[in-house]
Amino acid sequence: MEYDESMLVQRIGEMKLFPETESSHMTLHCAHCNTVLGDSYGICGDFSIKHMDSIMCLKVTDDVVISDPMESGHKGDLANCICSALKCRVCCCDVGKVIHSAPSHLATIRSLFLLYKAKISCYILDSSSMVRASKLTFHMKPLREHINEVRQQVEAQLNQMSHANSRLTSVTSDLNK
């Protein structure tokens, strides 16, 4: 969707996406009723197995309902998993799964919300456009990159504080003379 004077115009068709679009701020919507289900701050990556291309999310909105009955995966990639379906509160569409118990090779997705890309649309805030989630990739930054970024920020703040401290020391020594 994009803003066109007083209304939003759907633009879900084929759209060229630029690399920066895939890392921009966005909201995740139910593709059926457009209810907001999450945002880019809760996304932690892609998860793809046979017949289940999903967005991994740490958190979702209250409009995502975890179904009470737990299912057991008997075959395929989710064999030996215990999971619950995720449904849109407004239209009751099945929008994903949450895995409660899984074998060790799937340990990284336990307790994460897996939203089916086929059932999700993404509203990209920077371009004011709605695109299918299946057209996007949600890359996880390696932890080392995050740590290096934080380290650089802390070092920059430490340098600023050291500079301010030395200026304060020189000013107070000048006042004491």
pLDDT digits (tens, 9 = 90+) for 43-69: 888 887 766 789 999 999 999 999 987
**Taking the CB of residue 143, how many other CB atoms lie within 10 A of it?**
8
Q: For the full predicted model, state whether its pTM sits above 0.95.
A: no
CA dihedral 32, 35, 38, 40 (to 10 degrees): 80
pLDDT above 70 (res 10): no
CB-count exposure of residue 48 (10 Å: 0-12, 13-18, 19+): exposed
Q: Where are the domains of the chain?
A: 2-140, 142-177
Rounded to 5°, the CA angle 20-59-143 comes to: 55
Q: What is the pLDDT of residue 77?
A: 74
Pick the CATH number of 2-140 from 3.40.50.720, 3.40.50.1240, 3.40.1370.10, 2.170.150.20: 2.170.150.20
Structure-block tokens of residue 7 = 């209304």
Q: Which residue did the predictor score with more confidence, 78 or 93?
A: 93
